[in-house]
Amino acid sequence: MTNWAAAFNNAEAGVEQALADLEREKQKLREVSKVWEESTTTVRAKDNSFLMTFDGRGELTDLSFQGSKYRSLPPAQLAHQIVETIRQGRNEALAKVEKVMGTGSMTGLDFAGVASGKVDPMEMMNSLLGPMLEGLDELGMSVPDSSEKDKGKDKKSE
């Protein structure tokens, strides 16, 4: 992760580092977009009774039954297999995105976690911007947080 406080001590190096970090993240996002647009994942039920295909975002795009085995399954068992296969397919599709994007070694961001709903996007943004804002504070520059902006709105409305 970039040490923003140290980087701001040398403004030129800080700007160059920030631009390099930004370009690396932009490249990763281009690669993720390609995976989302072009990738598919196909998973087979454990008993081979059906196949499911997922797009690059982990959305189910096709379900095909293999033979007639599924007809002899009790409804609760078939439903369980469908749910489990959907879970497996989504996880495999998201793993492809995570392989490209990963948890940012510099930023510590978990993009697959956001995509799967396991990570709060606001927490992710705070982890990205927090160190930079702390660096500004150490330089004597302050950036108002949202609560300070909200206080200003409250005073205007009174």
Check if the beta carbon of residue 100 is closer than 8 Å to that of residue 32: yes
Provide the pLDDT for residue 148: 47
Provide the pLDDT for residue 49: 94
Structural domain span for residue 51: 28-102
Would you say residue 78 lies in a domain?
A: yes
Which residue's structure tokens are 């454990």?
Answer: 46
Report which secondary-structure segment, H or E, holds 77.
helix 75-101
Average pLDDT over residues 33-54: 93
Provide the pLDDT for residue 99: 85
Would you say residue 97 lies in a domain?
A: yes
Calculate the average pLDDT of the chain: 77
Q: How many domains does the chain have?
A: 1
Provide the pLDDT for residue 40: 94
Report which secondary-structure segment, H or E, holds 102.
none
Would you say residue 18 lies in a domain?
A: no
Would you say residue 152 lies in a domain?
A: no
Q: Report helix, strand or coil for 23.
A: helix
Check if the beta carbon of residue 118 is closer than 8 Å to that of residue 97: no
CATH code for the domain of 58? 3.30.1310.10
Would you say residue 137 lies in a domain?
A: no
Check if the beta carbon of residue 106 is closer than 8 Å to that of residue 4: no
Would you say residue 147 lies in a domain?
A: no
Would you say residue 149 lies in a domain?
A: no
Q: Could you report the per-residue pLDDT of 66-76, keeping only the tens digit for each?
A: 999 999 999 99
Query: Is pLDDT at 23 greater than 90 in this prediction?
Result: no
Would you say residue 131 lies in a domain?
A: no
Q: Could you report the per-residue pLDDT of 128-146, keeping only the tens digit for each?
A: 666 666 666 666 666 555 5
Q: Could you report the per-residue pLDDT of 77-105, keeping only the tens digit for each?
A: 999 999 999 999 999 998 888 888 765 54
Query: Is pLDDT at 58 greater than 60 in this prediction?
Result: yes
